[in-house]
Structure 1
Amino acid sequence: MSTFANAFWSPDYAGGLGVLFGKLQQGVQENQQVLTIARMRADTEELYGARLGDILPAADKISGGFAKDEGASTRKAYEGVRSEMEEASKNHRKIASNIRELVVNPFSRWCEAHSARIQNSQDALQNRIKQLDKQADVVRKLRSQYYNKCRLVEDMEEEDKLGFQDPQSEVAQSPKLKQKVPTIKEPDEDEDEPIDLGGASYEPEQVKQILTHMLETIKMGDARVPILGTYQNVSTGADITEYIQKYLNADNVAYAEEVGQDLISHGFLRLIGSVGNTFANSSRMNYQWKPKAFKVTGIPERKKPLERISSAMSSTSDGSDSPVVSINDYLQNWNPLNNPHPNETPAEKLKREASEADERYKAGVRKLDSFRCLLEEEMFLHLKFMERCELDRLKAIKAVILDFSGAISNVIPSLQSTVDQMMLFQETVQPGGDLRYLLENYRTGPFVPRVTIYENYYNSVDEQTFGVDLEARARSDRKRVPTIVTSILMFLDNHYPDLEGDEARRGIWLVDVPLQETHRLRAKINTGKHISPEVFEDFEIPVVASVLKLYLLELPDSLVSSHVYEIVKTIYASTASATTDEARIHIIQSTLGQLRLANIATLDALTTHFTRLIDLTSADEEYVAALANALAPCVLRPRQESSLTMTERWNYRLLRDLLAYKDDIFGELKRQSSNAARPTSSAGGDNARARAVSTDESTSRRAVFEERQRAIQNRSRAPSPAPSPRIGSGQAVAGASHRRDKSTGGPVTRFPVNTTPTSAQNSPTDRRGTVTRHSLEVPGSVEASPVTVDPVQYVQPPGSRFPRKPTQPGGMKRQSVILQGGDRSSMASVDSQEAPRPVGVELTDKPMDD
């Protein structure tokens, strides 16, 4: 069942929360409607009772009548009617009192508290989102600055290479060299970035219009400064302030001066004739319009020839034609006593500034990532809390209707029919059904975090693991499967024996792990430099499994690419009843064959792990369905979430087929990969399938790769061991083609793979016709060999199917998040039995060939 915690997510976070809090605020208004009905009913009953009480004094004012007739039967009838009126007045007043005491007063207090809880959660999450958006803007600016610095460094290096060449050399004269020099076109920060004036942000086109109007409207002339000379294009501070107040809606002089100071900061104005560069509302302070203002607006700058000989003191640094510069412009770079970088060349300065910009960019990305993680943690907490609040609200309305009907039924039995109707109405209220209706009709998407990764200028992915493209991460690790995936799977295989019973082993993938714990482990291994069993030992096993699911969710594209989502949808939509399982599996093989090798290898490693877990723990159909539901978003997601895709279950059905027909699907893929990689002739042959080279590989890398491939193919290798009786011929070929050498120094105890003995005699069979047995049962045939998995292979450990690791001092950390279940009887050691030498391929940690 969907919950608030996994149903109201959106890429910008604010969209899903907006829908949720809109519905919660609607619930607050519904509470007020119920409260208004109860309050007005109480007032009406009070008024009705008072009007009934007024009948008796009005009748008693009539003198004579029944007061004089003491024994007549008509008087008794009158007295009966009179007493009924008095009793009816008391009953209606009691109804009003009961409604106020049982419904109005307590429910009004509860409604106020509920509204405050909703508002507090909304304000807290909105503040977090604003903080995240603000930091995202900072990261974008830091990234632009970093890229600009790197561009300047490259320009300086190219100038150094070409600036001192011999004019007669071929390098200096060759026009082809200029064509081969790579250029990086980055948008100019000053032209593309918005400009802040007085706290308001303006686009470049708006700034151009404002400056054009200012240059055409503000009075402009010449200003002579003693000793220094005459300046052109000068306006007074008072004229500029007057313009800002009149045309830029400045409410006061202070705000106008702030706008003027921003014009100076952005290089449109400068102070002349005084020390400093401060803007003030003064007719005695003159400001010169700099060439940048005329360049932006396109208005020609008024110039005149110099009237005196210029010198080093009178030359300007900004390229203007003014004869002199201000004292501040001359002295701003003069710092002979306190220079932190003496004797620094321009090239060294640019490199230092690029390095500093890189560090600021890295720090900004890390800060943004921490803000995102904190926002997601608080969203999980608030969403779970809001779900409880909404459920309590619906239950409260149910209780209010019940109390409201009781307040009437306890006083006036004659209104029983009305009470019965009200009881019928309150019976029809289903809080759980209303909550499910809200989720199914207003959810905006599941929890799929969007990671802002650090984008290194030189395309390196060593600084981050989560959120990085799977193939880029695998290439950086020089593995087919990223190191984080293989490390977690190996850690879990080694620690399954430490859990008590099959239920605990199966349950680690279904535990609701707090996001704070998952993020804590994620922060330790995010750089990819500390992925080791020692790091995982500090956390509980479900937390390690949860961080693997989070890694798959944070991939920029799902493991099975979203580009084939429509193909998968077509497979199951069109093969619901008209196609056999064999044909459907063949289509799935063809579809998965379109994926990149890193995706196929990672998917193979994961499905191998889960199929072994299901077989070894004898998992039932209910657990397989729950596991597929939990892992389906990690394997396949649509490119864009919509109300239609949220109701589709194609990823669940695909994962069920991968778990049920794992050997058939990946065995065929491995055989195809092996046939495509085996050359048909020395020239390559027409039938040889060449792997597409990534777009980011250079020509030299491609040449080295091809030479290395030929060396690997020509190298003689020992034949692979015989295929397992459990797999088909296709898998045997795939296993042989993916054989790798044994790594040294690694652990040799692994979570065993082969669960089916060679002989199926006296053994029950499962739903697919394969032999089954109880979990942790020792195989009955010594010829059983492990299934070969590429790129991670597991071997049947000798002597025991669940070898126990030596207990560390103090033991492993185990808390309430570890599921209870099972006993140690299934972990009985069989070390006393003599096991044959294992047949198969052991774990290989070999760099990928390409």
Structure 2
Amino acid sequence: MPSFADSFWSEDLSTGVERLFVELHKGCNQNALFIQLFASRMQYEVNYGRQLCNTTSNIEGYSDTSNSDQSVDNALNQLATAMEKEGNEHLAIAADIETTVLRPFSQWCEDHEQRIEYSEKILKTNVLNYQKSTKYVEKLEQHYFNKCRQLEDHKRSYFNDDELVNVMKQLELFQEKETALAKEREFDAFGKFGNLDFDVRTMRETLSLLLTKLEKTTYKMPFINFTFENTNNGSEIVKFLMENLALKDVDQAETFGQDLLNSGFLKYCNGVGNTFVNSKKFQYCWKQYAYKFARVPLPNASEHGDSHDEEGPQPISTYLTDLTSKISNSQDSISTLPTISNTERSLLKYVKDLETADARYRKECKKLDILRCSLEELLVDHFTFMEKCELDRLKALEKVILDFSPIISKNASAMKELNIAVLKTGTEVDPTLDLLNLVERGRTGTFQPHVITYNNYYNPGGFQNFGIDLETRCRMDKKAVPLIVSSILSFMDRVYPELPNDNVRTTVWTVPVKLNSTHQLRANLNEAPFQEESQITSILANYAVEPSVIASVLKIYFLELPEPLISNDVYDILKALYAEFPPSHVESEEQAAIDAQRVSGITTAFNSLSKPHIATLDAITTHFSRLVKILKMGSSATSGALANEFIRSVSQEFANCIIRVKLPDGNNLSFKIFTDLLLFRKPIFRGLKRQNSKAQENHEKAPYF
């Protein structure tokens, strides 16, 4: 049965989440209908029971017959008493409905609805935040490519190829000199703070200590609706300085605080003036300028932050902040820099702007991809939990119907037919089937991760392994099959002998693995492209005790490819092919002929795939075919059955990995294709090699004009 965790996905994520909770809220409405039904029946029992209990009081003159000796009066008394007794029975039924069915089921339904609302709020909030982050990264990407275009336009407008080579060398020397000067300025005198001499570097370290280790608060101005972020009172600052710096006394610490105020690192919040006072009543705000100088990110920056310490290579201009230019603007230092023209200076500015945009874009791409992985893990966890909740709801309805039956059967003679109907209804409830119907009715798509790729203008695919198309990855790896794929398959070959038995060797590829564990290994493998197999093997070795995680990361790699191993065009051809020549478990000469035609059609269809796609499919199926062959060679009586079961299970597992599943079709076709690739691997790929050889010969024989 398809699970929630593999049924409610969509490209924007929100569509699948929205659809799931629409279906779950329908279940809550269904609960409410049952509650109304039980409440109505309880009320009917109460009303009818009360009327029966009031039988004698509603009969005029009934009291006159109580002492009569006539048999008819005696019969009247007996009938009235029986009716009142029946009334008490109906009241007892109503009480039982309330205590046994209505009250506990209503409470359970309320708790169930709260669980759904909580999960819905969590998921929708996280998806919305992810969508905002995605839009932000798209803006950064656009800004980065605009900077690339400006740089390339400037190069083409002012330099030819030879001039550009010379200019870039000159600018490289200029930047090296600028870097050296920036390092020298770190040791320039900065000023006196608390009668202590500080150079730029020491001041930066001291300020960084104050900004990161001293706990900040938010200060709200009295009488007006305005708040200051990142504040401390004078007493807190003085206490921190006394504890962390070699200051003689409080006066020196207070002088230090005054110097911070005078230098523009602090500003006074709750009054007018420019005096630092060691008091809890005087509040001071750390200015953004202080964070910039100390190269510390603002703690209360917006969602995407105004961080000043970007990851990756820092442009040289990072050093040229306002403050450092104030203390390092001597003509002697400037004159030591090589002379460059205005055009070259503009080129340098474009290069630095590009470096800044690139560093920020790359950093946010990495953050967003980590956020995507976390969101996918959260969605899987909540989808799984919601599936359990929905199954519990259906089982609770089944139980409450069966609990209702013995209550109404108390008055067996009158309720016999109703009791039979209720019992039959309770036994016909099938929670598993209802859950399957919910999934089939509401599913939006299988699990399909959409990687956040860092699209570098000058080196696409050169900074990550996952989410890069196969052609680019193979070209950069200089291999027919991506290095990461061949390395994982080779590593698994070395792991198999260490596993206890054949059953464990096969289930490694099919056992469920927590998405969080897979993402952890993925993160380690996605830091940077690898140059050789040993680099990948050293990472995989840390997961040798959990080979299922390694197998899972290979599936994730294929799922995250921008184009599947079998493209959509080929998929449509194969769909028609399998409709005309369907596979069958029945062995006959006629079926063998159908299989041969189908295999020939697969070979022809695959011929339009690129070489990396064909080679990768060949590598995967070769690995599994070899494992199947080893299984069949086993001495156990169940070896053949185990091999056949492995073909079925691994084909089911990799069905979504080789083809983008379309919901109306499901993954049944991709399951059949992968099964055929395992069963008929040699004729399929030999046919492909033969067709490629003929095409190459025809190309060589073609006349040249």
d(CA) in 2 for partners of 1:686 and 1:348? 51
Where do 1:104-119 residues align within 5 Å? 104-119=102-117
**2:564 and 2:660 in contact (8 A); partners too:** yes
Residues 655-696 of structure 1 deviation map (CA, whole Å, 9 limit, x = unaligned): 11111111111122223334544688xxx32299xxxxxxxx
d(CA) in 1 for partners of 2:446 and 2:382? 16
Aligned to 2:68: 69
Aligned to 1:548: 554
1:534 to 532, 538, 559: 538
1:624 to 647, 651, 668: 647
Aligned to 1:694: none
Residues 157-201 of structure 1 deviation map (CA, whole Å, 9 limit, x = unaligned): 234416999xxxxxxxxxxxxxxxxxxxxxxxxxxxxxxxxxxxx
Where do 1:179-328 residues align within 5 Å? none
Residues 331-385 of structure 1 deviation map (CA, whole Å, 9 limit, x = unaligned): x999961579977933222211110110100011111111111111011000110
**1:518 and 1:547 in contact (8 A); partners too:** yes
SS for the counterpart of 2:59 is helix
Where do 1:732-751 residues align within 5 Å? none
Aligned to 1:570: 576
Residues 95-153 of structure 1 deviation map (CA, whole Å, 9 limit, x = unaligned): 10000001111011101110011011111111111111111111111112111222222
Q: Post-superposition shift, 1:560?
A: 1.2
Aligned to 1:227: none
Evaluate the alpha carbon distance shift between residue 485 and residue 81 of structure 1 in structure 2; reply closer, same or farther with a 3 A threshold: same
Whether 2:343 is the aligned partner of 1:337: answer no
1:658 to 677, 694, 704: 677
d(CA) in 2 for partners of 1:687 and 1:74? 124
Q: Which moved more, 1:80-89 or 1:154-163?
A: 154-163
2:617 to 603, 607, 621: 603
Q: Post-superposition shift, 1:3?
A: 0.6
Evaluate the alpha carbon distance shift between residue 679 and residue 432 of structure 1 in structure 2; reply closer, same or farther with a 3 A threshold: closer
AA aligned to 2:579 is A
Aligned to 1:141: 139
d(CA) in 1 for partners of 2:387 and 2:696? 54
Residues 604-659 of structure 1 deviation map (CA, whole Å, 9 limit, x = unaligned): 01000011111212334333212111111111225xx34x223x622111111111
Aligned to 2:14: 14
Residues 724-773 of structure 1 deviation map (CA, whole Å, 9 limit, x = unaligned): xxxxxxxxxxxxxxxxxxxxxxxxxxxxxxxxxxxxxxxxxxxxxxxxxx
Q: Post-superposition shift, 1:41?
A: 1.4
d(CA) in 2 for partners of 1:621 and 1:164? 65
AA aligned to 2:672 is R
SS for the counterpart of 2:509 is coil
d(CA) in 2 for partners of 1:21 and 1:47? 39
In structure 2, runs of 5+ residues without a counterpart are 164-224, 226-320, 584-589, 633-641
d(CA) in 1 for partners of 2:35 and 2:138? 50
**1:3 and 1:439 in contact (8 A); partners too:** yes
Evaluate the alpha carbon distance shift between residue 687 and residue 583 of structure 1 in structure 2; reply closer, same or farther with a 3 A threshold: farther
Structure 1 segments (4+ residues) deviating >6 Å: 332-335, 339-344
SS for the counterpart of 1:488 is helix
2:81 to 76, 80, 83: 83
Where do 1:444-483 residues align within 5 Å? 444-483=444-483
**1:593 and 1:669 in contact (8 A); partners too:** yes
d(CA) in 2 for partners of 1:118 and 1:73? 65
Whether 2:172 is the aligned partner of 1:152: answer no
**1:94 and 1:411 in contact (8 A); partners too:** no
AA aligned to 1:673 is N
2:127 to 126, 129, 147: 129
Q: Which moved more, 1:629-638 or 1:13-22?
A: 629-638
Where do 1:797-808 residues align within 5 Å? none
Evaluate the alpha carbon distance shift between residue 339 and residue 7 of structure 1 in structure 2; reply closer, same or farther with a 3 A threshold: farther
Aligned to 1:28: 28
Aligned to 2:657: 634
Whether 2:406 is the aligned partner of 1:406: answer yes
Evaluate the alpha carbon distance shift between residue 156 and residue 2 of structure 1 in structure 2; reply closer, same or farther with a 3 A threshold: same
SS for the counterpart of 1:453 is coil
**2:68 and 2:74 in contact (8 A); partners too:** no
AA aligned to 1:550 is I
Q: Post-superposition shift, 1:511?
A: 0.6
d(CA) in 1 for partners of 2:66 and 2:604? 104
Q: Post-superposition shift, 1:73?
A: 2.1
AA aligned to 1:534 is S
Aligned to 2:383: 383
Evaluate the alpha carbon distance shift between residue 597 and residue 54 of structure 1 in structure 2; reply closer, same or farther with a 3 A threshold: same
Residues 797-843 of structure 1 deviation map (CA, whole Å, 9 limit, x = unaligned): xxxxxxxxxxxxxxxxxxxxxxxxxxxxxxxxxxxxxxxxxxxxxxx
Where do 1:775-786 residues align within 5 Å? none
d(CA) in 2 for partners of 1:390 and 1:141? 40
d(CA) in 1 for partners of 2:323 and 2:34? 76
Whether 2:665 is the aligned partner of 1:645: answer yes
Evaluate the alpha carbon distance shift between residue 613 and residue 164 of structure 1 in structure 2; reply closer, same or farther with a 3 A threshold: closer
d(CA) in 2 for partners of 1:679 and 1:26? 63
Evaluate the alpha carbon distance shift between residue 4 and residue 687 of structure 1 in structure 2; reply closer, same or farther with a 3 A threshold: farther
Evaluate the alpha carbon distance shift between residue 518 and residue 408 of structure 1 in structure 2; reply closer, same or farther with a 3 A threshold: same
Q: Post-superposition shift, 1:448?
A: 1.2
Whether 2:599 is the aligned partner of 1:585: answer yes
% identical aligned pairs: 36
Aligned to 1:434: 434
**1:4 and 1:387 in contact (8 A); partners too:** yes
d(CA) in 2 for partners of 1:592 and 1:383? 36
Residues 260-281 of structure 1 deviation map (CA, whole Å, 9 limit, x = unaligned): xxxxxxxxxxxxxxxxxxxxxx
Q: Give aligned pairs, total.
A: 515
Aligned to 1:208: none
Q: Post-superposition shift, 1:59?
A: 3.2
AA aligned to 1:536 is L
Q: Which moved more, 1:408-417 or 1:16-25?
A: 408-417
**1:462 and 1:527 in contact (8 A); partners too:** no
d(CA) in 2 for partners of 1:608 and 1:548? 15
Evaluate the alpha carbon distance shift between residue 152 and residue 645 of structure 1 in structure 2; reply closer, same or farther with a 3 A threshold: same
Q: Post-superposition shift, 1:413?
A: 4.1
Residues 544-575 of structure 1 deviation map (CA, whole Å, 9 limit, x = unaligned): 00000110111111111122111000101112
AA aligned to 2:73 is R
Residues 695-719 of structure 1 deviation map (CA, whole Å, 9 limit, x = unaligned): xxxxxxxxxxxxxxxxxxxxxxxxx
Evaluate the alpha carbon distance shift between residue 391 and residue 687 of structure 1 in structure 2; reply closer, same or farther with a 3 A threshold: farther
Whether 2:702 is the aligned partner of 1:686: answer yes
AA aligned to 1:50 is R
Bigger share in helix: 2
d(CA) in 2 for partners of 1:47 and 1:151? 82
**2:56 and 2:62 in contact (8 A); partners too:** no
d(CA) in 2 for partners of 1:162 and 1:7? 56
AA aligned to 1:58 is N
Evaluate the alpha carbon distance shift between residue 103 and residue 334 of structure 1 in structure 2; reply closer, same or farther with a 3 A threshold: closer
Q: What TM-score does the superposition give when structure 2 sets the normalisation length? A: 0.69
SS for the counterpart of 1:624 is helix
Evaluate the alpha carbon distance shift between residue 428 and residue 677 of structure 1 in structure 2; reply closer, same or farther with a 3 A threshold: same
- Structure number with higher relative contact order (C-alpha < 8 Å, ≥ 6 residues apart): 2
Q: What TM-score does the superposition give when structure 1 sets the normalisation length? A: 0.58
In structure 1, runs of 5+ residues without a counterpart are 166-253, 255-331, 689-850
